[in-house]
């Protein structure tokens, strides 16, 4: 949020009002990735800690000292737990901080990792028992909640059931079914929907995307994911050309992209081709961009290989060889063209 209390994403206005109307101490935000779960959690935390709002269920003013501290990542009554691998992408400080309120994260970064560690959860619980520094209570944000391993999630259960003092928790996830049922049952839940096409595409256009409907479609309607695709090197001109490039075995079109981004893209191509074979509409690519004639059995085998690769995306692959192999398997989903036979008299 800026100093004028503007929302970071325009489609969060209604979800924020709904979240502020909840009276419980633990709120679980859930919805697809790329639609603003983390941003909603943070603007909600700022609203809870704001010292100048006219009513308890009002949004943050954006001008008081508490709002400035939250925006700077330095509010002593706000702690944000995320996996270390996500801290830099989310704009969170990587400087080691003590849990006594030296900063918003309240955790010492670990040496890598994609989980929220049990040691960090236990430190957060201890921090929650301390007195609020500014008198508006304390807020603990956990994102993404599915990054809590089983031990960490179990350590959090008692706090979710009986929070210390004025502690409030907001958990945010894009995979709610991955959470322990006992954790879900201790939270009030709020679904964050995908924004309308008009709102999403207007926002993408304001971010500098040309023909935003192309990457919006490629991202499955998730505007933040569309913007991430652009930042990774996929633009509105290249995207519709990718299915034909795979049909031709041209792995070089993916040069410079991460393995994770390439695998995600190939999965979308494969899914749309399987839809084409079944006579269903494409989801991610323009229908006319999909070469006809792909074979269902070969597509199924390719899909299985892509899923196996996605599950091990942290493996130290030789990226170039892996991508070339996956594109080659994709090309083989179309039957080889037989050379024309010459007629000998």
Convert the pLDDT of each residue in 187-232 to its tens digit: 999 999 999 999 999 999 999 999 999 999 999 999 999 999 999 9
152 domain residue, yes or no: yes
Q: Give per-residue burial for 316-342: e unless 16+ CB within 10 Å, then b.
A: eeeeeebbeebbebbbebbeeeeeeee
pLDDT band at residue 344 under the 50/70/90 scheme: very low
Give the mean model confidence (pLDDT) for residues 290-312: 96
**248 & 100 share domain:** no
Task: Categorize the per-residue pLDDT at 165 as very low, low, confident or very high, splitting at 50, 70 and 90.
Answer: confident
Burial of 343 (0-12, 13-18, 19+ CB in 10 A): exposed
Which range among 53-57, 123-127, 283-287 shows the weakest confidence by mean pLDDT? 53-57
pLDDT classification of 103: cutoffs 50, 70, 90 = very low
Assess whether 180 and 125 both reside in one domain: yes
For 211, the 3-state DSSP assignment is: coil
Does residue 52 form part of some domain? yes
In this structure, are 81 and 184 located in the same domain? yes
Rounded Cα distance, 165 and 264, in Å: 44
Q: Using a pLDDT cut of 70, give the percent of the chain over it.
A: 89
Does 105 reside within a domain? Answer: yes
In the structure, what pLDDT confidence band is assigned to residue 119 with cuts at 50, 70 and 90? very high
Q: What is the pLDDT of residue 82?
A: 95
CA geometry: angle at 27 spanning 45 and 226, to 5°?
A: 75
CA 29 to each of CA 117, 149, 191, 213: distance values in angstroms, whole numbers, following the listed order: 20, 18, 6, 27
Q: For residues 311 and 155, what is the distance between their CA atoms, to the nearest angstrom? A: 27
Q: How confident is the model at residue 23 (pLDDT cuts 50, 70, 90)?
A: confident
340 falls in which pLDDT band (50, 70, 90)? low
- Which SS3 state, helix, strand or coil, does residue 301 take? helix
Residue 150 in this model has a pLDDT that exceeds 70: yes
Q: What is the CATH number of the domain that holds 81?
A: 3.40.50.300
Instruction: State mean pLDDT over 103-129.
Output: 74
DSSP 25-78: SEEEEE--TTS-HHHHHHHHHHHHH-SS-SSTTSPP-S-SHHHHHHHTT--TTE
pTM of the model: 0.86
Check pLDDT > 70 for residue 256: yes
* Residue 135 forms part of a structural domain: yes
User: What is the number of domains present in the chain?
Assistant: 2
Q: Are residues 128 and 28 in the same domain?
A: yes
Of the candidates 191, 207, 226, which is a domain's last residue? 191
d(CA 143, CA 159): 17
Average pLDDT value for residue range 90-112: 47
pLDDT at 5: 52
Q: Are residues 19 and 93 both part of a single domain?
A: yes
- Residue 203 in any domain: the answer is no
Give Cα 343 distance to the centre of its chain.
59
* H helices present in the chain, as ranges: 13-21, 37-49, 65-71, 84-87, 118-128, 150-161, 181-184, 197-206, 212-218, 223-232, 242-247, 259-277, 296-311, 319-331
Confidence (pLDDT) at 114:
87
Residue 1 pLDDT greater than 60, yes or no: no
Q: Measured between alpha carbons, how far is 188 from 22 in angstroms, rounded to an integer?
A: 8
Does any domain span residue 292? yes
What confidence score (pLDDT) does residue 54 get? 87
Mean pLDDT of the chain: 90
* Confidence label for 337 from pLDDT (cuts 50, 70 and 90): low
Given 133, 163, 191, which residue is the final one in a domain?
191
Structural domain that includes position 89: 10-191
308: burial class by Cβ within 10 Å (0-12, 13-18, 19+)? exposed
Query: Measuring CA to CA, which residue among 71, 68, 48 is closest to residue 59?
Result: 48
């Amino acid at each position: 949020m800026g100093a004028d209390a503007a929302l970071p994403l325009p489609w969060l206005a209604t979800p924020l009002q709904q979240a502020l109307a909840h009276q419980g101490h633990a709120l679980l935000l859930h919805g697809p990735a790329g639609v603003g779960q983390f941003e909603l959690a943070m603007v909600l935390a700022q609203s809870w800690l704001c010292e100048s709002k006219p009513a308890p269920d009002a949004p943050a003013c954006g001008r008081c000292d508490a709002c400035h501290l939250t925006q700077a990542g330095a509010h002593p009554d706000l702690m944000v737990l995320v996996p270390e691998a996500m801290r830099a992408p989310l704009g969170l400080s990587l400087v080691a901080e003590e849990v006594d309120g030296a900063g918003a994260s309240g955790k010492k970064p670990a040496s890598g990792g994609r989980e929220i560690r049990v040691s960090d959860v236990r430190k957060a619980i201890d921090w929650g028992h301390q007195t609020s520094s500014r008198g508006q209570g304390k807020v603990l944000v956990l994102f993404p909640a599915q990054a809590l391993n089983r031990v960490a999630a179990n350590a959090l259960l008692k706090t979710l059931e009986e929070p210390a003092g004025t502690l409030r928790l907001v958990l945010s996830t894009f995979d709610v079914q991955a959470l322990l049922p006992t954790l879900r049952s201790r939270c009030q839940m709020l679904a964050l929907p995908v924004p309308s096409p008009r709102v999403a595409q207007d926002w993408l256009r304001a971010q500098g995307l040309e023909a935003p409907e192309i990457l919006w479609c490629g991202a499955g309607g998730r505007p933040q994911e569309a913007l991430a695709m652009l930042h990774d090197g996929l633009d509105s001109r290249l995207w519709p050309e990718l299915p034909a490039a795979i049909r031709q075995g041209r792995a070089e079109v993916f040069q410079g992209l991460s393995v994770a981004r390439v695998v995600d893209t190939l999965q979308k191509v494969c899914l749309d081709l399987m839809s084409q074979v079944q006579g269903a509409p494409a989801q991610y690519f323009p229908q006319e961009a999909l070469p006809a004639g792909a074979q269902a059995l070969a597509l199924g085998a390719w899909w299985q290989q892509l899923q196996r690769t996605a599950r091990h995306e942290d493996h130290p692959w030789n990226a170039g060889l892996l991508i070339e192999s996956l594109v080659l398997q994709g090309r083989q989903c179309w039957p080889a063209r037989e050379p024309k036979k010459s007629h000998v008299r």
